[in-house]
Amino acid sequence: MVVLKKIRASTLMETLVATVLIVIVFLLASMILNTLFNNSIKNKTHDIETYLNELEYRYMNHKVELPFYGEFEKWQITIDRFVDKNQHYVEIEANNKELNKTITKQKFETNP
């Protein structure tokens, strides 16, 4: 008869320590991913930038009268004309008070 060899196994304490370490690593990873995901949602400004480009296009084709005040989702939008050192420009500004963000675009005019 063949004598079975003893196989060295880990103790219960080693198994518990390894399990706790794995759980801690997964918790840290999930917290980091959650933070990254929340930040990417808060910093998402693609929709408002697209709308501002559309308003700029409308202004260039004389479809928007100045001063313009409007809203887009939770953004307050203003378009106004300014003069600085004999240079005429139009400023398009979007304000979101919830996120405390402001997006500003300036378009210089050659013939006001």
The structural domains of the chain, with segments of one domain joined by +, span: 11-43, 46-108
Model confidence over 47-74: pLDDT tens digits? 999 999 999 999 989 898 889 999 998 8
Let me know the angle formed at the C-alpha of 98 by 67 and 76, rounded to the nearest 5 degrees.
10
**pTM of this prediction?**
0.65
Distance of CA 29 to the CA centre of its chain: 21
What are the tokens at 31? 């917290």
The span from the CA of 110 to the CA of 87, in Å, is 8
Model confidence over 9-23: pLDDT tens digits? 778 899 999 999 999
Q: Which helix (H) or strand (E) holds 103?
A: strand 101-108
